[in-house]
């Protein structure tokens, strides 16, 4: 890809140019959809990973913390794959060759691990309770498996705004947890 075209796409993402964003979706969404569905994901996963990745790239480009020296499409696909792998690692063990192996629960979990998990849960709920009622509702509906469309309808938002809001809420919650002094103690274990 020529660098001029690449820069036009990057500029379009930063400025929110609808034509460029539409073309970007059209070019990249089919590949991301195939990849995630092949890896056991669903359409909701595709939408979430795609949107979250685009928001991350947008934010980093906007604040100048990201310089892309390769094709924006290749870079974006890499970000999506990494986000999907991180999401999978929460539920599955991912092998290097991209095959999924269901991770069996360890029934020999130590007492220390069990206590640490309980402490982590308490820490999570402590900060979750500090969110506004509206933000807690969005996360709760998301964790219940509701689609972005359903969450948007329930809250009276657009689907795009709901995706962005969910991402911002998750990022804010993570920051609050990481800034808690108890986080460092639990992360070391």
Please tell me the distance from the alpha carbon of residue 133 to that of residue 136, in angstroms, as a whole number: 5
Predicted TM-score of the model (pTM): 0.52
Q: What is the pLDDT of residues 10-20, one digit of tens each?
A: 888 888 888 98
Nearest Cα neighbor of 72 from 25, 26, 17, 7 is: 7
pLDDT < 50: residue spans in the chain: 93-110, 188-189
Residues 6+ apart with CB under 8 A from 37: 43, 46
The DSSP element (H or E) to which 77 belongs, if any, is helix 72-91
Q: What is the structure's pLDDT at 103?
A: 46
Integer angstrom CA distances of residue 96 from 31, 33, 36, 137? 20, 20, 16, 37
Q: Which domains does the chain have, with CATH numbers?
A: 3-101 (1.10.1740.10), 111-188 (1.10.10)
Q: What is the structure's pLDDT at 14?
A: 87
Burial of residue 48 (CB within 10 Å: 0-12, 13-18, 19+) is buried
Q: What is the pLDDT of residues 130-161, one digit of tens each?
A: 889 898 888 888 878 888 888 999 989 998 89
Tokens describing residue 105: 């629960």
The rounded percent of the chain whose pLDDT value lies above 70 is 79
Q: What is the structure's pLDDT at 31?
A: 92
Q: What is the structure's pLDDT at 107?
A: 43
Pair 16, 55: CB distance under 8 Å: no
Helices (H) and strands (E) in the chain, counts: 9, 2
Q: What is the structure's pLDDT at 91?
A: 60
Q: What is the structure's pLDDT at 114?
A: 54
Q: What is the structure's pLDDT at 99?
A: 46
Burial of residue 186 (CB within 10 Å: 0-12, 13-18, 19+) is middle
């Amino acid at each position: 890809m020529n660098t001029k075209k690449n820069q036009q796409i990057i500029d379009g993402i930063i400025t929110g140019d609808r034509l460029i964003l539409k073309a970007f979706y059209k070019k990249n969404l089919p590949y991301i959809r195939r990849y995630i569905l092949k890896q056991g994901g669903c359409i909701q996963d595709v939408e979430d990973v795609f949107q979250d990745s685009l928001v991350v790239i947008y934010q980093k480009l906007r604040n100048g913390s990201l310089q892309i020296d390769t094709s924006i499409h290749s870079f974006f696909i890499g970000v999506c794959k990494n986000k999907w792998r991180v999401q999978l690692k929460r539920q599955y063990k991912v092998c290097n060759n991209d095959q999924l192996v269901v991770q069996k629960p360890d029934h020999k979990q130590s007492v220390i691990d069990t206590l640490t998990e309980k402490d982590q849960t308490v820490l999570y709920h402590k900060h979750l309770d500090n969110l506004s009622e509206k933000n807690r509702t969005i996360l709760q509906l998301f964790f219940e498996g509701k689609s972005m469309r359903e969450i948007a309808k329930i809250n009276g938002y657009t689907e795009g705004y709901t995706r962005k809001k969910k991402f911002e809420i998750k990022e804010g919650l993570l920051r609050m947890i990481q800034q808690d002094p108890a986080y460092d103690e639990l992360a070391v274990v």
